Structure 1
């Protein structure tokens, strides 16, 4: 699944945002997601699996707990794509600014 598809789901985006602040247990992520989205525990587990399979998170077992940590590689891919788009829009906006200035 491409990174944009992964982040198209609001629950998965929230998990990524939570993990950007640091590692979390599966229980913490589940509690937060259930609080915000009112979804079942199996639904949260499914979304965590999608994030893991897509390479957005790494999971480390710690006794009976699972610790989730953000893997920034897919986010770097998105950032590279956005940088290319930003260049295009910056050029377009600069041209518009020049055009508006010339009409003053």
Structure 2
């Protein structure tokens, strides 16, 4: 039964227009309860990042501390240099019932 639900969720998610999820930093900062989550490697994050962004190494995406840190009532803005990776992260978080996901432009 769980496999059927996952399949239905994936089909529904594929209907999402990911272009609608892309947001500029200025607009994202206007969102209520917004959390920036930077999934780039630590060196790139240390070199430059959005002020107050949380760093999560992509390989630690599903770690318990990361999942506890990300509040489902907040809007999450995903940061990654590779648009396809940012899309996969956004899709994964949407499947995990995070309601408001955006991708930083």
- Asked if these proteins are the same fold (TM beyond 0.5), I'd say no
Q: Give the TM-score, by structure 1 length.
A: 0.28
* Structure label with greater radius of gyration: 1
Q: Give the TM-score, by structure 2 length.
A: 0.28
